[in-house]
Amino acid sequence: MRRLSALLVLVALGAGVYFLPPPAAPAPDPAPPTQPLIFSVCPVSEGSGRSTEVAVASTLGGSSAITLFAGGSTVGSLEISLGEDGAVIMPVVDIAAVGTVGGLVELPGGQAAAGSRTRGPASTTLEACVREIPTRVVATGGSTVSGGELTLHLMNPFAGDAVATLVVHSDAGLEASDRFTRVIVPSRGSNVITLNNTIPGRDWVTVRVEVTRGRVVAALRQTVGDRAMSWNAVEPGTSWLVPVPTEVEGRLVIAGADAGQVEYQVDVYGPDGVTEALVSGELAEGEMASIPLADLEGARAARVVATGPIVTTLQLTDGTKHSATTGAPAPAGSWLLPAASTGSARLVILNPELEDASVVIRAMREDGREFRSTVAAESVLETSLDGADAYLVDSDVPIVVLLYEAGEMDDALAMGTPIEDE
């Protein structure tokens, strides 16, 4: 009986083992998250007496690459390490003689920025590359009068054609042309539009680019003889901050971006503090106001606020030199200024806050100096620096930083790029 019980137990155990489900196959480890590509887009020219260099800077080092795109394909690319200094210059001439195209710059992270410098026979243009690509951007301040040429460069670095509508205003009013409707920007290509061919003889021009399919980066380029200046089309906003270098001539350009009237005022940061509403007015859709810097009573910086969306551009010209850049929509604690500069440069730092700012400035090059300074509340600091691939400015309160170079033949200026914490 005892042997029979033992036998039954063994049979039951065997049956239990037989009917157990097979062990689950080992699950693979989850795939590491894919790092999204962080990039910026620059207008690039190589040939016909013009040559572009792209400067890239990062607080975290790493490497960067630029890919030139035209005609639906990649024209050429260059990858390079940022090195110990965290900044590098990538000459487009080392890639290809490509004419006027777009450049897609891969950045090593959010704390990085790129800027393009284009040298011509008698002038240099300098501008930050575009990281954010909204569906509606505006640029103002150009002219198609005789002796000058205004071109709109539309760039599409992505697969698939993009489609945009151009809403163009000038001193002649709203411009009507079939060339401004359903503008195709080809896949991985550019559409360069010479506005003089369609609306010649205009004293001023404002262009709104409304993208209905895909994404497009837009920039204006104004030439007067051998001189040139370029600036990005930007998303409109209701507040703009613009540092102004000392001892310059030029103007502040403001344009309404939407239908209807918009009221604006210009507050000025000067030697005696802030003067509110020194200049004020109204703008219709696309209408442009040109305010000479001489009328702003020694302004070191300007704050432009409005009841509706506007854009603001700083243009420096004394009849022979020309340069331009768009304003900054907001202050930030850290700024990168990719420069590709071989000569001295000036940084113009605006502190719009109600408390003093402690700033640290570093020239990103071999043996680059780092120094500290204080920018008093609601005031401006201007400082001269040796040439560098880029500059980094950190502050304990939000500030705005502009790069300015005064050359023998021409000036160049560009707003810095605010960088993210990671």
* Dihedral sign computed on CA atoms, order 266, 270, 274, 278: negative
Other C-beta atoms closer than 10 Å to the C-beta of 33 total: 6
Residue 110 within a domain: no
Does a structural domain hold residue 12? no
Q: Does residue 320 register a pLDDT over 70?
A: no
Q: What percent of the chain has pLDDT over 90?
A: 64
Q: Do 214 and 293 share a structural domain?
A: no
Same-domain check for residues 208 and 284: no
pLDDT at 186: 96
Name residue, tokens 């509508």.
Answer: 165
Is there a domain that residue 22 lies in? no
How is residue 107 written in tokens? 């950045």
Q: Is the pLDDT of residue 196 over 60?
A: yes
**By residue range, what is the domain housing residue 189?**
136-232
Q: pLDDT confidence of 109, banded at 50, 70, 90?
A: confident
Mean pLDDT of 146-159: 94
pLDDT at position 12 = 40
Residues 228 and 281 in one domain: no
Residue-wise pLDDT for 383-403, tens only, equals 998 888 899 999 999 999 999
- Is it the case that residue 173 has pLDDT exceeding 90? yes
83 lies in some domain: no
Q: Are 215 and 154 contained in the same domain? A: yes
Final residue before a domain boundary, out of 278, 294, 319? 319
Domain count, the chain: 2
d(C-alpha 357, C-alpha 379), whole Å: 10
Lowest mean pLDDT among 4-8, 114-118, 196-200, 380-384: 4-8
CA distance 97 to 146: 30
CA distance 395 to 419: 12
Helix/strand/coil percentages in the chain, nearest 5: 5, 60, 35
CA distances from residue 312 to 26, 49, 73, 267 in whole angstroms, order as listed: 60, 30, 34, 13
Query: Three-class SS of residue 222?
Result: strand
DSSP 293: G
Largest CA distance in the chain: 118
- Cα separations (Å) of 57 from 4, 97, 303, 328? 84, 24, 28, 19
Is residue 283 classed exposed, middle or buried when 0-12, 13-18 and 19+ CB atoms within 10 A define those classes? buried
| Its pTM surpasses 0.85 | yes
**In terms of DSSP H, where are the helices of 143-276?**
none
Q: 50: which strand partners?
A: 47
201 and 282 together in one domain:
no
Q: Which of 198, 232, 266 is the last residue of a domain?
A: 232
Q: Is the pLDDT of residue 207 over 90?
A: yes
Cβ-contact 53, 91 below 8 angstroms:
yes
Write the DSSP assignment of 26-49 as a string of letters. PPPPPPPPPPPPEEEEEEEEEETT
65 within some domain: no
Q: Do both 221 and 267 map to the same domain?
A: no
Reported as half-sphere exposure (CB side, CA atoms, 13 A), residue 14 has a value of: 6
CATH number at 148 reads 2.60.290
In a shared domain, residues 204 and 256: no
Q: Of 303, 319, 335, which residue is a domain's last?
A: 319
Note whether residue 103 is domain-resident: no
Q: φ, ψ for residue 349 (rounded to 5)? A: -115, 120
List pLDDT tens digits, range 266-311.
Answer: 999 998 899 999 999 999 999 999 999 999 988 999 999 999 999 9
Pairing verdict, β 250-256 and 288-292: antiparallel
Strands (E), 159-213: 162-170, 173-174, 183-185, 189-194, 205-213
Question: Do you know the residue count of the chain?
Answer: 422
- Tell me, yes or no, whether 384 lies in a domain: no
181/209 same-domain check: yes
Contact in structure between 362 and 391 (CB atoms under 8 Å): yes
Q: Tens digit of pLDDT for each residue in 6-50?
A: 333 333 434 333 333 443 434 433 433 334 479 999 999 887 788
Give the whole-angstrom CA distance, residue 215 versus residue 57. 25
Q: Are both 221 and 254 inside the same structural domain? A: no
Q: Which of 21-35, 352-366, 401-415 has the highest mean pLDDT?
A: 352-366
The answer on 254 and 175 residing in a single domain is no
| Within a domain: 96 | no
Q: Taking 80 as the threshold, does the pLDDT of residue 59 lie above it? A: yes
User: Following CA atoms 2, 4, 9, 12 in sequence, which dihedral angle do they give, to the nearest 10 degrees?
Assistant: -170
